[in-house]
Structure 1
Amino acid sequence: VISSDPETKYAIFDYDGTRNVLIPGPHGAGDLDEFCEDFDDAKIQYGFCRVEFNGINKVVFVGWVGENVASRQRLLFNSHMASVAKQFSTHHIQITARSSDEQLAVIAPYTIYGCSI
């Protein structure tokens, strides 16, 4: 995502079972809709997508708490989100979302101003 590889415009990271270890999940070269569709309503996930704005690549970081995530897991999200954001500090925009509609509502305005994924 960060290296401007045309084959990877987005990547999503999942937890490895019940452990607090992140592993690579879905990734691809698709558009914003495909990126948003790859999030799972039953998981906490972290995603990165590259958008282009006036010829300059920017990275969007999404912290995802699916609507069907158990309450106990939700409690850990804020502290984990901060840690993950710190590890992947190369992002320009940070978003927390629970549904694809929320993601699109936040990211879509950037496409209006000339950004594209």
Structure 2
Amino acid sequence: MSGLESPEIAAAYEAVRSDKDPANWLLISHASATSNQLKLTKTGSGGLSELAGELDDAQVQYGYVRVEYANDSESTRVKFALIVWIGENTRVMRKARVSVESGDVRRVLGHHSIQVNASDRTDLDEKDVVARLRKAGGADYNGGRG
């Protein structure tokens, strides 16, 4: 996939994965409305809610987010989620490419516990995402309380 091999995307991915970098999300979008080339659009340190605020209702976008949550009263876990955003006003032909394109994105942003397919910002509720990450993580020392 054109653009996914860029040094900017690789550096942003490593920053989100790093314990020492404040960046905890990145967003990849198409270079233009008619382009099939993907590029790094933005990064940030405000978590899933900040990432959700950057999504465009007229685009297909791919987000990668670091989510930290309490595992129990004495420890925390860090997990990663891949967000596949298909805005409600996205052109039909762009939507049709998502299944192939998202496979290429998954290869580049390979280390994630879950993939969240979203077309509405309510699909990105942090409590719901954390609950899915807990289930994907195996042992739940929080007694199933999310």
Same fold (TM over 0.5): yes
Residue 108 (structure 1) shift: 5.2
Correspondence 1:49 to 2:68: no
Deviation by residue 1:56-75 (Cα, 9 ceiling, x = unmatched): 32111001110000111111
| Maintained 8 Å contact 2:86/2:119 | yes
> In the superposition, relative to structure 1, how do residues 71 and 98 fare at CA in structure 2: closer, same or farther (>3 Å)?
same
Correspondence 1:15 to 2:30: yes
Which of 124, 131, 134 aligns to 1:109? It is 131
Residue 14 (structure 1) shift: 0.7
Pick which of 99-108 and 30-39 moved more. 99-108
Which of 71, 74, 77 aligns to 2:95? It is 74
Higher strand share: 1
Counterpart of 1:32? 48
Using structure 1 for the length normalisation, give the TM-score. 0.84
Counterpart of 2:119? 98
Count of matched residue pairs: 114
CA RMSD between the two structures = 2.2
Gap regions ≥5 residues in structure 2: 1-15, 135-139
Identity %: 25
